[in-house]
Structure 1
């Protein structure tokens, strides 16, 4: 297969996409486009999770699956505004609590039958 440059790949910015966003993005691609990405991946980074994902999708397409609608160039999840940080703050944290009466992993509770009789 021919060695494709980054500019001709079916997914814009393919080299910078996290593995997690590839699964939904490749669903909109044809078998030929997935083959193209697979060849590029094997010739460059050859990441095992990515080649497995692309190979599985290619098999689905060859078995009759159809590309789904979607925009391969849609906003990337890592660019969304929700990545500004965790919403957890002291105001949203739970109140401290006492250990349960049956003991903790460090200090096991004792059944009533094991207590010394007095």
Structure 2
């Protein structure tokens, strides 16, 4: 069942944001909104890097910093490309090869021949 507090967060996709995307997006929030995220984080995942980030931003806002537009190019999970998996296909794969019986591919082994 969905957490009711999650639906009211200032960043609706908060739980899915990587730290780099979160750092850019919290810049647009007010002190009250950052406090709300911090309380949610502490009561749920309580991830140390995230709480440190939110605490630092809250201190900046209380020290006179103003919310900005943030980074519009920040990673946003809700705008994913929809592609998943490897871009490799049989057309782009290298030709299979077997290793030489001895030696390396650039230094071929020599036949043993007579050892007398």
Q: TM-score, normalised by structure 1?
A: 0.59
Residue aligning to 1:114: none
Higher helix share: 1
Distance change in 2, residues 1:26/1:50 (3 Å): same
1:20 to partner: Cα distance: 1.5
CA deviation string 1:7-53 (max 9, x = no partner): 00000121111112100000000000000000000000000000000
Q: Distance in 2 between matches of 1:77 and 1:39?
A: 22
Residue aligning to 2:10: 10
Gaps of 5+ in 2: 94-116
1:78 to partner: Cα distance: 7.7
Contact 2:21/2:75 (<8 A) preserved: no
The alignment yields a C-alpha RMSD, in angstroms, of 3.2
Contact 2:26/2:70 (<8 A) preserved: no
1:69 to partner: Cα distance: 2.1
Residue aligning to 1:57: 57
Q: Distance in 2 between matches of 1:78 and 1:20?
A: 15
Residue aligning to 2:32: 32
Q: TM-score, normalised by structure 2?
A: 0.60
Gaps of 5+ in 1: 91-118
CA deviation string 1:33-92 (max 9, x = no partner): 0000000000000000000000000000000000002589x87168444x7767xx89xx
Residue aligning to 1:69: 69
